Every structure is written in structure tokens, then in C-alpha cells.
């Protein structure tokens, strides 16, 4: 157990249901989960649904469904070691803590800080604050709240509150000082309170307790010992440490993870990049959850002993914070597709079939092929599927005729016209046994010898002619599945096309 005052390692993920489940949230969850697992600790889940206007049931369900799909689950948050004052209020089904149900607790702590003079009411109006900002801008100063309401006496503050004057509650950060912590990922961190925009608001005038405050109260109640989250939370961490100290709670350890950026060096976001940021997209397109999980961990994590392809359990056994990269993770769809192909290629046939069926109009309406042939077909394309959504582009030619329109491919047909003609003659002379996939290749090799051609030059025109594609399963397998009659028809069409364009 790393050094701090907590009895057990407890980590958590605390998503806000104000948007889709973001890849970054899942990645953060995974590092928290791995850290907890590797220290025999707990990984917990809290739904931060206090922003009433922006939180929705729909996003809540999407987040929970997403985690379920990814096979990421969390532990029971109740704890025998819970300190005095900590309560599991808000614990609902499935070990979820709902922050919105803890509002009364948050407010009690706000009141405690007010009573102790560690927080104060700020009655500054919007106009006043706008004027302050305008003045600071004119003076080319950094805009920040100037802590003016610190000096309002307790009597005056109580009187104004009683009169019904609107106020927010701010934490008194005291005289300027460095807030420091030893970040688990980034090392020594120091942020001066003067860079935090003035005393932070912890409760809005509507009475809503703000994130930085609620998060501290809840992490304390859940006895969270280690918090991994994105480095966009660095200044929040400084504020939260000040809140922990004001409340007299033990401060957990923090580790700030590099964010995910796109290739053009922008932070991956729904607003800028749309659906690629959201987990649901990958579920809908037929990615395997294990592949997405592996990819997300691997974006910022390299461990030589486990290599690139690993399960959560394998990664947890070896998990080392030092193996987390400090530079931004780069979203790379090619890499994700590589992981997905790796995982698809290892699937059992029954799984392949059921995934393919979910995504294929051809398989749904199939009356052409029996089960054995479908198996040969799907096993033939299994290694080249990036995602199941693509399945029909890989198997369409088994079910439907096609027209070659790509100029380069038409040219290949033209150049290979002789090969195609010769294979037609061979078929005509019963030189190819269609029940025997290897026979087609033997026939083609013989033609290659006669024409002194081999490799792509020999195979590609035939492949294009019978499948309309430049890659795919073994040609003999394609011929076997499609059958003699159809193959002859397609080869003849290809010759005719080649003549037309020649
Ligand atoms: N609800 C916050 C978010 O989604 C949690 C951040 C944290 O881990 O403290 O960004």
C-alpha cells in the first residue's frame, strides 16, 4: 500500500451524465481500475449528476450501458473503515453512488465551513464582477475575483442573507501560497493560490453545491485513496486539496493522465470531433469491447512484459504507474482497427457468426449457402475485418454480382485477359475440380507457367474477375463457394469488359 493514511487502495470513476460516454472517461476508469486491482483494492463508481440542467436520464443510461458493454464493473462502496462522518447516502442499485442524493450532506459541510469562518458568503453582483473583470482587462491584468467579500463581517453577512440578498459561498484560500502534491504520474506539482482565479465558489446562488466541493465530500465518504483523472483537472486538484484541508480530511493521492488528442493535435472532443469521441459509436460499428479496452489502455501505457495485446487482468498483474506515458495520447483509428482485427481473429466461429449476423443483410436473407459454406466464407474473411459493420463489403460478392468500375482494376483485367481466357478453357476441359479448393490454384499455376507469370500478375486479374476485389480469401476457396457456373459467368463478363475497354 503506497504511503498515505488510507487503510486500503480505493479508486473511482465519477462521470457526469451531461454527455455521451467519452473514450477519455473509459480510459480514466481503466487506469483507476487497474491500479485498484493491482493493489487488491476497490474500484468504485459515482454518478456526478448534480448539474440538474445538463444531466439527463438518457446520458446516464448510455454511460451505464457503455460500461456494461465494456465489461467494466465496480465494487461495493460500503466500507468498514469508513471514518466518522462518512456516509454512504446515495448508494443505489448496482453499487452506484448518486451524487445528487447527497446534496444535504454537501450542504452540511458547506455550513460547517461557514460556521468555522473557512468559507464566506459573497454578495457581489454580476454587474460588480463584470466591472471588476473589465477593469482588470483594461489594466492588462489576469482576471480573477479579488476576494472582496472576505472582509464582510459575520453580522453583516448574516443580516444580508436574512434580508434575502443573493449570494454564493466561497472558500477562503487565505494568503497566497503554493499548493503542492506529489503527482503519481507527473511528479512534484505546485500551483499558487493566486493562480486559481480568486477564492473559489463552492455553492452557487441557487444553492447548488459545485463540483469541486461535492467531489471532496464524496471522495472522503467513499474513502478514495487514489484519484487518477485527466490533466485538465490540475487546477481543480489544487482547489480540492484546499477543500480537503479546510474540512480536515485526509488528502488522497492524485495522478493526472495525459489527455487524448487527435492527429492534428486537438483535444478529442464531441464538439470538435463528433461521434468518434463516444463509446457508443464503436459499439454500433461492431468493435469488440475487449479490443477497445486494450486499445484505450495501450494509448498511454507500455509494459514490455505484457506486450501490446492484453486483457485487463493481465495488465492489472503488472500495472506500474511509471509505465504511463506523460505525453498526450494520440487517437489513432488504424491502431484501434489493428487491435480489433487481433481480437476478431481469435474469436470462436460461433461468436464470429453471431456478430456477423448482427451486421449483415446478406446473412440475414441467406438462402444460397449452407452452414458449412458460411463457415468457410466467414473464416476466410475473419482476419481482414476491421469491424463487423464492414462484413457485407467483405462477403457481398458471394451473394451478388458486381461491376468493376475502378480504372486501375479495369486495367488489370485488360492486362490479364489472356490468363482469364486460359482459365476458362481449363474449366471447359474439366481441368478444375470446384469441390476441391486447391485445384483452382493448381490450374492457375499451370497457366502461370505457360504464360511465364506468377504472383500478383497472375492472380490479381482472376481475383478481380471473380470477386470484384483486390484482396480477400484464397481464390480456390472463393471458386469453391461460388461454384462453377457463376465463376464461368464472371470470368466471361471480365473478358468482355476487358475487350470493351481495350
Ligand atoms: N464528474 C467529473 C468529470 O466527469 C469527475 C472528475 C473527477 O474525476 O474528479 O469530469
Nearest CA to ligand 1 atom 3: 15
Between helices 103-115 and 234-247, what is the axis angle to 10°?
A: 70
Whole-angstrom distance, CA of residue 431 vs CA of residue 444: 10
Can you read off the three cell numbers belonging to residue 339? 487491435
Does the beta carbon of 193 lie inside 6 Å of ligand 1?
Answer: no
Using an 8 Å Cβ cutoff, are 270 and 19 in contact? yes
Give the closest residue to 345 by CA, choosing from 309, 383, 377, 310: 383
Q: Residue 116 CB: number of other CB atoms within 10 A?
A: 12
* 228, β-bridge pairs: 255
Tell me phi and psi for residue 242, to 5 degrees: -60, -35
- Name the residue with the closest Cα to ligand 1, atom 10: 15
φ, ψ of residue 300 in degrees (nearest 5): -130, 25
Rounded CA separation 293/299 (Å): 10
Task: Determine the atom of ligand 1 nearest the C-alpha atom of 25.
Answer: 4
Query: Can you give the pLDDT at residue 502?
Result: 57
Q: How far is CA 259 from CA 22, 27, 271, 272, 311, in A?
A: 12, 10, 16, 15, 22
Backbone angles phi, psi at 280, to 5 degrees: -55, -35
- Of 290, 263, 362, 340, nearest to 69 by C-alpha is 290
Residue 236 CA to ligand 1 center (angstroms) comes to: 10
- 48, 184, 219, 224, best to mutate for ligand 1 pocket (most atoms within 8 Å of CB): 48
Euclidean distance between CA atoms 241 and 233, whole angstroms? 12
Mean pLDDT by 10 residues, the chain (502 residues): 72 97 97 97 97 94 98 94 86 96 97 98 97 97 96 96 97 97 97 97 96 97 97 97 97 96 92 93 98 96 91 94 91 97 96 97 97 97 95 98 95 96 97 96 96 97 98 97 98 86 58
Residue recorded with cell 472522503: 220
Give start and end residues of each alpha helix (H) in 39-175: 57-69, 103-115, 126-138, 154-163
The Cα 358–Cα 362 span in angstroms is 11
Indicate if ligand 1 lies below 6 Å from the C-beta of 48: yes
11 close to ligand 1 (CB < 6 Angstrom)? no
How far does the centroid of ligand 1 lie from the alpha carbon of residue 15, in Å?
A: 6
Alpha helices in 322-472 (DSSP H): 333-345, 349-359, 361-364, 371-381, 391-399, 407-415, 417-428, 437-451, 455-467
- Write out pLDDT tens, residues 238-271: 999 999 999 999 999 999 999 999 998 999 998 8
Among 277, 191, 180, smallest CA distance to 235 is for 191
Q: What is the pLDDT of residue 4?
A: 56
The finding on whether 256 has its CB within 6 A of some atom of ligand 1 is: no
How far is it, in rounded angstroms, from Cα 181 to Cα 313?
30
* Of 373, 374, 402, 422, residue with least CA distance to 467: 402
Q: Which helix (H) or strand (E) holds 488?
A: helix 484-501
Residue 299 φ then ψ, to 5°: -60, -30
Residues 6+ apart with CB under 8 A from 288: 340, 343, 344, 347
pLDDT at 1: 40
Contacts of 334 (CB under 8 A, 6+ apart): none
In terms of Cβ atoms closer than 10 Å to its own Cβ (0-12, 13-18, 19+), residue 191 is middle
Q: How many CB atoms lie within 10 A of CB 104?
A: 8
Do residues 481 and 376 lie in contact, with contact meaning Cβ atoms separated by under 8 Å? yes
Tell me if 16 CB under 6 Å of ligand 1. Answer: yes
**What residue spans of 19-119 are helical by DSSP H?**
23-38, 57-69, 103-115
State CA 466 to chain mean position distance: 39
Centre of ligand 1 to C-alpha 55, Å, is 13
- Cα angle 354, 357, 360; round to 5: 150
pTM: 0.92
Report the C-alpha gap between 416 and 361 in whole angstroms. 33
C-alpha 71 to ligand 1 mean position (Å): 21
Q: What does DSSP assign to residue 406? A: -
Quote the pLDDT of residue 2: 39
CA distance 237 to 155: 32
Taking the C-alpha atoms of residue 198 and residue 39, their distance in angstroms, rounded to an integer, is 38
Taking phi over 0 as left and psi of -120 to 50 as alpha, with beta for the rest, 202 belongs to alpha
CA atoms within 13 A on the CB side of 142: 6
For the chain, count helices (H), then strands (E): 22, 12
DSSP type of residue 228: E
Amino acid at each position: 500500500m503506497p504511503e498515505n493514511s488510507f487503510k486500503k487502495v480505493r479508486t473511482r470513476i465519477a462521470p457526469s451524465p451531461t454527455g455521451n460516454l467519452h473514450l477519455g472517461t473509459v480510459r480514466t476508469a481503466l487506469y483507476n481500475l487497474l491500479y485498484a486491482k493491482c493493489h487488491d483494492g476497490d474500484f468504485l463508481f459515482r454518478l456526478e449528476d448534480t448539474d440538474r440542467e445538463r444531466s439527463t436520464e438518457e446520458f446516464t443510461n448510455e454511460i451505464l450501458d457503455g460500461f456494461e458493454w465494456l465489461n467494466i464493473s465496480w465494487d461495493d462502496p460500503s466500507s468498514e473503515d469508513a471514518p466518522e462522518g462518512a456516509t454512504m447516502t446515495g448508494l443505489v442499485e448496482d453499487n452506484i453512488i448518486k451524487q445528487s442524493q447527497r446534496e444535504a450532506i454537501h450542504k452540511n459541510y458547506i455550513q460547517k465551513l461557514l460556521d468555522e469562518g473557512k468559507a464566506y458568503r459573497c454578495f457581489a453582483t454580476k454587474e460588480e464582477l463584470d466591472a471588476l473583470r473589465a477593469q482588470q482587462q483594461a489594466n492588462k491584468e489576469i482576471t480573477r475575483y479579488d476576494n472582496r467579500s472576505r472582509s464582510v463581517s459575520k453580522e453583516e453577512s448574516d443580516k444580508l442573507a436574512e434580508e434575502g440578498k443573493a449570494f454564493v459561498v466561497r472558500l477562503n484560500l487565505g494568503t497566497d501560497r503554493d499548493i503542492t502534491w506529489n503527482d503519481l504520474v507527473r511528479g512534484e506539482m505546485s500551483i499558487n493560490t493566486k493562480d486559481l482565479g480568486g477564492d473559489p465558489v463552492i455553492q452557487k446562488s441557487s444553492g447548488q453545491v459545485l463540483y469541486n466541493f461535492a467531489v471532496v465530500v464524496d471522495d472522503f465518504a467513499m474513502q478514495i485513496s487514489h484519484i487518477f483523472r485527466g490533466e485538465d483537472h490540475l487546477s481543480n486538484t489544487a482547489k480540492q486539496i484546499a477543500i480537503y484541508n479546510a474540512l480536515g480530511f485526509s488528502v488522497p493521492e492524485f495522478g493526472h493522465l495525459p489527455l487524448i488528442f487527435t492527429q492534428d493535435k486537438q483535444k478529442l472532443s464531441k464538439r470538435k470531433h463528433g461521434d468518434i469521441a463516444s463509446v457508443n459509436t464503436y459499439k454500433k460499428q461492431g468493435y469488440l469491447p475487449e479490443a477497445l479496452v486494450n486499445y484505450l489502455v495501450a494509448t498511454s501505457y507500455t509494459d514490455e512484459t505484457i506486450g501490446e495485446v492484453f486483457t485487463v487482468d493481465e495488465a492489472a498483474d503488472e500495472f506500474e504507474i511509471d509505465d504511463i506515458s506523460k505525453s498526450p495520447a494520440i487517437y489513432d483509428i488504424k491502431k484501434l482497427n489493428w487491435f480489433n482485427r487481433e481480437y476478431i481473429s481469435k474469436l470462436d466461429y460461433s461468436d464470429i457468426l453471431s456478430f456477423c449476423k448482427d451486421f449483415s443483410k446478406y446473412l440475414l436473407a441467406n438462402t444460397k449457402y449452407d452452414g458449412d459454406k458460411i463457415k468457410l466464407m466467414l473464416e476466410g474473411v475473419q482476419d481482414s475485418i476491421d469491424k463487423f459493420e464492414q462484413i457485407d463489403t467483405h462477403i457481398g460478392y458471394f451473394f451478388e454480382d458486381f461491376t468493376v468500375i475502378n480504372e486501375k482494376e479495369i486495367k488489370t483485367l485488360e492486362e490479364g485477359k489472356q490468363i482469364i481466357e486460359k482459365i476458362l478453357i481449363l474449366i471447359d476441359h474439366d481441368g478444375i475440380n470446384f469441390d476441391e479448393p486447391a485445384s483452382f490454384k493448381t490450374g492457375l499455376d499451370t497457366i502461370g507457367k505457360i504464360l511465364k507469370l506468377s504472383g500478383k500478375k497472375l492472380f490479381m486479374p482472376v481475383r478481380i474477375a471473380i470477386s470484384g476485389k483486390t484482396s480477400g480469401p484464397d481464390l480456390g476457396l472463393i471458386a469453391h463457394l461460388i461454384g462453377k457456373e457463376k465463376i464461368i459467368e464472371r470470368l466471361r463478363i471480365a473478358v468482355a469488359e476487358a475487350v470493351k475497354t481495350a
